[in-house]
Structure 1
Amino acid sequence: MSEATEKTSLRVKGRLMSASEIERTLVRLAHEIVEKSQGGEGMVLIGIKRRGVPLAERLGKLISTIEKTPVPTGVLDIQFYRDDLSTAGLKPVVTVGALGVDIVGKDVILCDDVLYTGRTIRAALDALFDHGRPRRVQLAVLIDRGHRELPIEATYVGRTIPTSSREIIEVKFQEVDTDEQVLLVERID
């Protein structure tokens, strides 16, 4: 089935977070990360493309300000690691893209906007380990909406928002969407 055929109508049910609420949540997450990590030394934040990248960059800046030392951030592209690629026809050739930062022996915090089934994070872990062996890997997400299909749990969660299977959480970041908010959207079949 093509993507156009699969598309259904979406209806916005409500705004879950404003720009200022996102900022406050990120400040809290940054402090929590510093506290649990006993500082920022040896820490690297890796954003999962797309909306995990601005999340990692923002958290990196906040932690750098708190700790008065730079915290490196990188970008992880997982598109060729997804376990749903086999349904898309021929398997693509996987080429490892540069993270932009060294992770070997570091405490890596993977960053993504929404944790749902866990499949994106599983793919991210596969991709991450192709770049080397970190000392430890933790997960930071802005929203955890439940419905896990894999045993994956975030270490740092901005908000837990239970949803139905018909609902979608849409995170919009200024850097990607020229908008800043979190919306609850419902599929209308």
Structure 2
Amino acid sequence: MKIKILTFPLRLSVIVLIFGALFKIMHWPFANNLMLIGAVSLAILYTIRFISKPIKFLLDYVKLALVLVWVFNYLVGAFHIFYVPYLFQILLLILFIYWFIVEGPVYIKNRKFTKNRFLKVFYKILIALTAFMVFFGLLFKIQHWPYGSLLFVLGILSLNILLFLDYFLIDRSQLEKA
């Protein structure tokens, strides 16, 4: 149970990072600050979580490398620090493929919801609406069609709500045994 304590702060740092990306896309102020705070806190919290884990397997190292390389790549690209063509993207792709082959489908399959049926239905509807709003919001925004920004902002807001709700809807006792 000790390792999972940082799950909620990690989700909050991802939410801050997503809001930073939204602010950057919408050209709103404080985008770089939010992205920096979210990315650095994500890297620090995940590293602390990794260090506090008593038994580490190869997959744990892969996940740590995936998070750290992604954060580093994200910061380097967002702040235009330097340019290394496709090196980090290829490394991320290799790490992600390894994670997906070893754990990906099992991770999604083993998720057990709490007993509240209404929240489960609401959660699944929210997933569909979020995917719709983000996809079509981006499409409308790229095409400069009306309501593109509104759809995209609502999609990002509902994505953050999903990240927040997911923490409370998943039965953590089942995940600890896996």
Q: TM-score, normalised by structure 1?
A: 0.26
Which fold has the larger relative contact order, with Cα–Cα distance below 8 Å and residues 6 or more apart in sequence?
1
User: Whose radius of gyration is greater, 1 or 2?
Assistant: 2
The structure with the greater share of residues assigned to helix is: 2
Q: TM-score, normalised by structure 2?
A: 0.27
The structure with the greater share of residues assigned to strand is: 1
